């Protein structure tokens, strides 16, 4: 079974039901099916063959959704590009992936044309007219509106190649098959117990794995409605949730924090919202508690790397939700904690979280050594440090690369950050390592204060001394107006370490 087959089946059942809406623009399942099929045939006519790479560089939009489905239905592999990327990153990913076509818009045309690209043959613009420099999407509109027959490919073909953030070296293209994505989507639906009556808001970037599975594929498989927001503006998100009667919200922790800090948040009626999912980074418990109290809605924290398509564990809807945990493995997923020699640890001990399941990628594109290292022993090594309790709940302590070694003592930034978020004056906080001649590394706290509040380094250190051993207390404290974040809303700790 391929993704195109399942989406076509949904479209046949749902027909005129709205599939997606963005502001005053709507598309039905029937029209989405027709337009994505036409694009698929158009790509095939342009010479695209199974396993060829086709890139998409678009903001959140109905056009992105159509392009995503059209590329996958053509038998090609979809390669999304982060719309905040500059020339070097765009050039690297397009060349590394050997993308033959890119679907984009006029806004990004100068950037694309400025890149030195080895394999790119065509540029298709969703908002362009016919030109010698590119093709217009409208030129492909007279193609067949039926789903292309792809007898030569099966569920193990790569549907999407998603490039990881590249915080350690160049980005790596995680190859996710049709089966990987279908499995993860279906098991997440089963775990969260959602159905076609839900209305999903998609404000997470569509180029990211979190949005792809949870905000796009899940509702498409169910025949639910996707409410698209083109970019994250806190007041606009609250207004959209209210006006569109959104029932399901998925976001990263910084989004929840930003929504909490909207001045007139109490004026919005979010009574239709019945479930929120947080992932992508650790959710501060204080933020979770404040959000739930303010908006009277439950947040289920979960997680999983891009390499697991990406959902691997989520707190259960009906079962016990444990504070600080990212929950239980989704159905038919195995998780264990191992030491540096890949020996399984006892429950409660801290080690690396490894995952096994049918949603685990088949490897990194053109990177056999990195693939072997990450998938050694038949388990995906996530790079997350964590533990499991006796009930099988997973707790992420921190990223391995974020752990701070203070004179031989391990310091986990998340532990300190959790306490900082409880300080009444602090809006956001991050703890990173900075070099020290005597101890090798020391923790540094970077703080954003709530509006109208004042504090100094001495006050923050004194606060931390009440809760932590001296080696864990931040030795440096910086104050910023905003913490730097990447396009998905995650705090960019690497840039904070460089400050």
The pLDDT of residue 498: 67
Residue 298 is part of a domain; what is its CATH number? 3.40.50.12780
The angle formed by the CA atoms of residues 173, 248 and 225, to the nearest 5 degrees, is 80
Q: Has residue 99 got a pLDDT over 80?
A: yes
pLDDT at 59 over 90: yes
Residues 6+ apart with CB under 8 A from 252: 204, 210, 278, 279, 280, 281, 488, 489, 490
The boundaries of the domain holding residue 72 are 3-153
Identify the domain boundary among 363, 380, 399.
399
Among 220-229, 253-262, 401-410, 444-453, the range scoring the smallest mean pLDDT is 401-410
Burial 18-33 (b: 16+ CB within 10 A, else e): bbbbbeeeebbbbbbb
Q: pTM for the full model?
A: 0.92
Q: What confidence category does residue 167 fall into, taking pLDDT thresholds of 50, 70 and 90? A: very low
Same domain, 213 and 328: yes
One domain for residues 285 and 305: yes
Region 50-70 average pLDDT = 97
Q: How far apart are CA 93 and CA 81, in angstroms?
A: 8
Question: Is 166 a domain residue?
Answer: no
Confidence (pLDDT) at 131: 82
Residues 235-255 have pLDDT tens digits of: 999 999 999 999 999 999 999
CATH number at residue 75: 3.40.50.980
- What's the rounded Cα separation, in Å, for the pair 87 and 76? 24
d(CA 72, CA 460): 51
Query: Count of domains in the chain?
Result: 3
Dig out the tokens for 220 from the structure.
């498409």
Residue 439: pLDDT band by 50, 70, 90 thresholds?
confident
CA end-to-end span of the chain:
49
Q: What is the pLDDT of residues 252-283, one digit of tens each?
A: 999 999 999 999 999 999 999 999 999 998 89
- One domain, residues 384 and 419: no
Burial of 53 (0-12, 13-18, 19+ CB in 10 A): buried
The pLDDT score that the predictor gives to residue 201 is: 98
The answer on 344 and 430 residing in a single domain is no
CA pair distance 429, 431, nearest whole angstrom: 7
What is the percent of the chain with per-residue pLDDT over 90, rounded to a whole number?
A: 89
Condensed to tens digits (0 to 9), the pLDDT of residues 125-161 reads: 999 887 888 999 988 878 889 999 998 999 999 999 9
**168 in any annotated domain:** no
Phi, psi of 396, rounded to the nearest 5 degrees = -90, 120
pLDDT at position 408 is: 85
């Amino acid at each position: 079974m391929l993704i195109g087959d399942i989406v076509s089946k949904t479209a046949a059942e749902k027909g005129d039901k709205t599939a997606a809406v963005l502001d005053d623009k709507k598309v039905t399942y029937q029209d989405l099916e027709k337009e994505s099929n036409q694009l698929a045939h158009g790509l095939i006519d342009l010479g695209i063959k199974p396993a060829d790479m086709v890139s998409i560089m678009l903001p959140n939009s109905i056009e992105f959704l159509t392009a995503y489905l059209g590329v996958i239905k053509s038998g090609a592999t979809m390669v999304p590009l982060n719309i905040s990327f500059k020339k070097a990153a765009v050039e690297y990913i397009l060349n590394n992936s050997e993308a033959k076509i890119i679907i984009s818009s006029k806004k990004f045309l100068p950037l694309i044309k400025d890149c030195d690209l080895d394999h790119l043959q065509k540029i298709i613009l969703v908002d362009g007219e016919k030109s010698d420099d590119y093709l217009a999407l409208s030129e492909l509109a007279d193609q067949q509106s039926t789903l292309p027959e792809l007898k030569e490919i099966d569920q193990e073909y790569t549907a999407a190649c998603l490039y990881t953030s590249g915080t350690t070296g160049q980005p790596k293209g995680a190859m996710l098959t049709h089966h990987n994505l279908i499995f993860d989507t279906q098991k997440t639906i089963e775990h969260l117990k959602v159905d076609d009556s839900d209305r999903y808001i998609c404000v997470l970037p569509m180029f990211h794995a979190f949005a792809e599975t949870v905000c796009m594929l899940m509702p498409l498989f169910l025949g639910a409605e996707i409410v698209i927001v083109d970019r994250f503006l806190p007041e606009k998100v609250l207004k959209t949730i209210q006006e569109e009667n959104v029932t399901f919200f998925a976001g990263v922790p910084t989004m929840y924090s930003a929504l909490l800090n909207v001045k007139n948040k109490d004026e919005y009626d979010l009574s239709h919202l019945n479930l929120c999912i947080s992932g992508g980074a650790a959710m501060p418990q204080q933020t979770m508690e404040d959000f739930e109290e303010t908006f009277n809605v439950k947040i289920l924290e979960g997680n999983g790397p891009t390499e697991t398509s990406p959902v691997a564990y989520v707190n259960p809807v009906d079962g016990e939700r444990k504070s600080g945990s990212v929950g239980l493995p989704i159905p038919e997923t195995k998780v264990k904690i191992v030491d540096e020699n890949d020996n399984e640890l006892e429950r409660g001990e801290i080690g690396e979280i490894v995952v096994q399941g049918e949603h685990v990628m088949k490897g990194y594109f053109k990177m056999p050594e990195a693939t072997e290292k990450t998938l050694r022993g038949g388990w995906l090594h996530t790079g997350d440090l964590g533990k499991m309790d006796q009930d099988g709940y997973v707790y992420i302590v921190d990223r391995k690369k974020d752990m701070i070694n203070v004179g031989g003592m391990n310091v986990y930034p998340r532990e300190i950050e959790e306490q900082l978020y409880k300080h009444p004056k602090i809006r956001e906080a991050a703890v990173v390592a900075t070099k020290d001649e005597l101890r090798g590394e020391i923790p540094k706290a970077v703080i954003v204060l709530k509006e109208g509040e004042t504090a100094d380094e001495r006050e923050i250190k004194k606060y931390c001394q009440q809760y932590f051993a001296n080696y864990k207390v931040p030795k440096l404290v910086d104050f910023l107006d905003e913490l730097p974040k990447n396009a998905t809303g995650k705090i960019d700790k690497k840039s904070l370490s460089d400050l």
